[in-house]
Amino acid sequence: MALKPVHAHRMHYIDPVLIRGREKLEEWYKVIDTIPPKTRRQIKALVSDGLRGFQQLATSHEWIHQRCHFHLLASLVCGKGKRRYLTCGSSVRDKILDLIRILLADEPVKKRDRARRTLSRHINNPACPSYVRKHVLEFFEREHDFRSYLTHPHLHLPTTTSAMESTGRLVRKATRTARTPESLRLRVVAFLRLKRSVVCNGFDAQH
């Protein structure tokens, strides 16, 4: 985890928590509880990769929830590669991507309304891959979570979790020779305390 002051462009790491097993919402509640109460009371928003239940987590703490744009777009291009135009549904999928980008952006209401109607038609096209349809329907349900950066501009929210994703890659590289859970935890703590922070631009700096 990391915390970003509203008007700053760097996030500051919190000591990591090591938990056995797969990532689950129930464990995230325990992880959030490790943040000192004084610090936790100052948090206004949560930026997440979209793990199921994060909206519930944010609501339970009365936080604004911003979903990661990159994770959404990546979920729609799953399976695309050098031969993507030979893949079933590539044409309609590319149109869907363009429409989603309009709905994620600071565009006029009328333009977004048109994009939403067109998007509804495309996902009902037989050529639309089922997993794309699934992700778009979820997007329709939680669209406001992807636009929190616009509805709460005073918070200067980042629209992706890319800074933490890159941190994760660095952590895995730095701890690849760890042999026990405790040595892993200690190495990660030391690594992040030395690194201290990472650049994380909010919406105002992305234009």
Of the candidates 1, 11, 2, which has an alpha carbon nearest to the alpha carbon of residue 199? 11
Burial class (CB in 10 A: 0-12, 13-18, 19+), 93: buried
Of the candidates 102, 128, 143, which is a domain's last residue?
Answer: 143
Judgement on whether residues 173 and 76 belong to the same structural domain of the protein: no
22 or 66, greater pLDDT = 66
153 and 60 inside one domain: yes
Mean pLDDT of the chain: 91
Same domain, 36 and 78: no
Total count of domains within the chain: 2
The verdict on 28 and 56 lying in the same domain is yes
Instruction: Inform me whether the pLDDT recorded for 78 exceeds 80.
Output: no
Domain that holds residue 62: 2-69+149-205
What's the whole-number mean pLDDT along residues 131-157?
Answer: 95
Q: Are residues 108 and 159 in the same domain?
A: no
User: Which one of 117, 143, 169 terminates a domain?
Assistant: 143
Q: What is the pLDDT of residue 15?
A: 93
Res. 91: pLDDT tops 70: yes
Q: Do residues 90 and 25 both lie within one domain?
A: no
Across 49-58, 66-75, 80-89, 159-168, least confident range = 80-89
Q: What is the 3-state secondary structure (H, E, C) of 84-139?
A: HHHCCCHHHHHHHHHHHHHHHCCCCHHHHHHHHHHHHHHHCCCCCCHHHHHHHHHH
Q: Domain boundary residue among 143, 165, 196? A: 143
Report CA-CA distances (Å) from 110 to 75, 103, 107.
26, 11, 8
One domain, residues 65 and 154? yes
Same domain (yes/no): 154, 63: yes
Q: Which amino acid is at 97?
A: L
79 and 123 fall within a common domain:
yes
pLDDT greater than 70 at residue 136: yes
pLDDT of residue 203: 84
